[in-house]
Amino acid sequence: MKLRRSVTQLVATMACTTLSQAAMAHESPHSGGIQTKTTAAVKAPYDIVHTKITSEGNQAVFHMHVSGKAGANKPTKTGKLAGSTVFSYVWPTSLDSSLVGFEPKAGILAFAVTSHPDFDDTPLFDENGDGNPGNDGGLWHSHWVVLQPDEVCGKGALKVVDIPEGAKPKLPKTWPGLPLLIDSPGWTPLFKGGTVQVKVPFDDIGAVNTAGFDGVTAALRVNASLHNPLLCVVNVFKVASGDLSLPGKVK
């Protein structure tokens, strides 16, 4: 009887453990990080409900989940650079800009996944595989950008930091040649349902593991005069924390 009871208890314990592990596996993609309530006023493809950054070995995994289908909505092509629009999924971080090849303390270092059909800023990569690396800006792709506030963009608005004419700041090897603190490293974003996710390798993953982060969906616009500021954040769709306080902690 005792043996039978022990076997029964063991089977029950194993079953509970299996169910617990299955539940954890089911929850893990959207657990942790910054959880955000659905906002009816925000278009579903940009309505952030979960944002996180995790590390796996020497890689950081940037993850964002929205209430609709991620990446389903893109800017309308206008046929010209001036005044054109950029849609973006953005992870602002507390990381120092020098970590990815810019000058130290240059501004807010953010990782972004963007689409902008009127220009291409990934000259080293042919995302659509047609042999022309200069015609695929409309496909979702990744960037590092450095952000700073600029009142010219609007009260409290941010811009991608401009490089003044004649200045020669330190820049990443995959800088695309624009007069901006922007990098085009070529890390491919993956879209699945409501999730956009990108794996990014780092030489110093320890710095990433101590970073704070936030999540933002936004539209940026190229200045009609193509002059300082060149690229402004003109419409913030949603901020995961509500106040850009970078409360997220890397797991």
Structure confidence by residue, pLDDT tens digits, 122-137: 999 989 898 998 888 9
Task: Count structural domains, the chain.
Answer: 2
Q: What are phi and psi of 91, to 5 degrees?
A: -115, 90
Residues 21 and 78 placed together within one structural domain of the fold: no
Range of the domain at 92: 34-249
The encoded tokens of residue 185 equal: 């490293």
Sign of the torsion angle spanned by Cα atoms 87, 91, 95, 98: negative
- What's the rounded mean pLDDT across residues 86-112? 98
pLDDT at 12 over 80: no
- pLDDT tier at 183 (50, 70, 90 boundaries)? very high
Residues 142 and 242 placed together within one structural domain of the fold: yes
Residues 111 and 231 placed together within one structural domain of the fold: yes
Count of CB atoms situated within 10 Å of the CB of 112: 24
What element of type H or E holds 237? Answer: strand 231-239
- 3-state secondary structure at position 11: helix
Residues 14 and 108 placed together within one structural domain of the fold: no
pLDDT at 17 over 60: no
Residues 111 and 154 placed together within one structural domain of the fold: yes
- pLDDT, one tens digit per residue, over 28-83 is 577 889 999 999 999 999 999 999 999 999 999 999 999 999 999 999 999 999 99
Question: What pLDDT score does 28 carry?
Answer: 55
Question: What pLDDT score does 227 carry?
Answer: 86
Residue 63 in contact with residue 79, Cβ under 8 Å?
no
Residues 6 and 62 placed together within one structural domain of the fold: no
Question: Which of the two residues, 213 and 251, has the higher pLDDT score?
Answer: 213
Residues 4 and 105 placed together within one structural domain of the fold: no
